[in-house]
Amino acid sequence: MVMPKHLCPFGRKSKWLLERHGFEVEDHKLRTREETDAFMQEHGVDTTPQAWIDGERIGGYDDLRAHFGNPLPEEGDTSYTPVIAIFAVAALIALAMSWLIGGPWWMVVPRFAATAMVLLGLQKLQDVESFSTMFLNYDLLAQKWVPYGYAYPFLETGAGILMIASVLPFLSGPVALFIGCIGAWSVFRAVYIEKRELKCACVGGNSNVPLGFVSLTENLVMIGMGAFTLLRAVM
């Protein structure tokens, strides 16, 4: 569809995908709602665009991806992609900070951990309501006291920011230890003792990251950062 107030993004992506695979595309633009409705009725389809290859109808953009062996994940499929992206960016930010600030090489590790805390907390802050709902499925303290589920994103993000700035260690350290210990035991209990299959709220509500090793790692990192922050402050 190419209309005055709407340019179909999936039509552009379908054309690009076909050209990327070496096809010469004959592009038929639908310029009005009437043309679009007539096209869908003629071919018995509910959506546009529709692609044909050598006279055979393949379908829309999702069908094209599947035809070329790269289907989109199904709704509800588990995925570690959000966590991998966050950890990768946190690592690059930590390296950039170390390059700019200097100091011993091992400081990359705590800078990475603190940055990851902030980025994970930011994901939760985008929709605190959805996060708190998913969080209540497994967190033991949130199940006892619902407001903790709303406070958690602010506690994690705030502790991470203070750690990056190296200020108020006797606030950020205990906060990280507290939420990390509760979180680690909650995840371990739900996954490894009760054998429950749940989605993790570590990257916010409505995520498809499975509850398990990643969630436990997030909490163990916070425990480690809390202990490191306090030890560094007293030494």
Q: What pLDDT, on the 0 to 100 scale, is given for residue 76?
A: 57
Q: What pLDDT, on the 0 to 100 scale, is given for residue 77?
A: 62
Q: What pLDDT, on the 0 to 100 scale, is given for residue 131?
A: 93
Question: Among candidates 144, 78, 157, 75, which has minimal Cα distance to 116?
Answer: 157
Tens-digit pLDDT profile for residues 40-65:
999 999 999 999 999 899 999 999 99
DSSP H or E segment with residue 216: helix 213-234
Which residue type sits at 82?
P
Count the neighbouring beta carbons within 10 Å of the beta carbon of residue 188: 15
Question: Among candidates 5, 92, 203, 182, which has minimal Cα distance to 174?
Answer: 182
Domain limits, the chain: 2-67, 81-234
| Mean pLDDT, the chain, whole residue set | 91
Tens-digit pLDDT profile for residues 62-89:
999 999 998 877 765 667 788 889 999 9
Tens-digit pLDDT profile for residues 136-149:
999 999 999 999 99
Percent of the chain with pLDDT over 90: 76
Q: What pLDDT, on the 0 to 100 scale, is given for residue 219?
A: 93
Q: What pLDDT, on the 0 to 100 scale, is given for residue 78?
A: 67
9, 2 contact by CB (below 8 A): no
The pTM of this model reads: 0.80
Provide the token pair at 87. 């950890």
Mean pLDDT of 199-214: 79
The CATH class that applies to domain 2-67 reads alpha beta
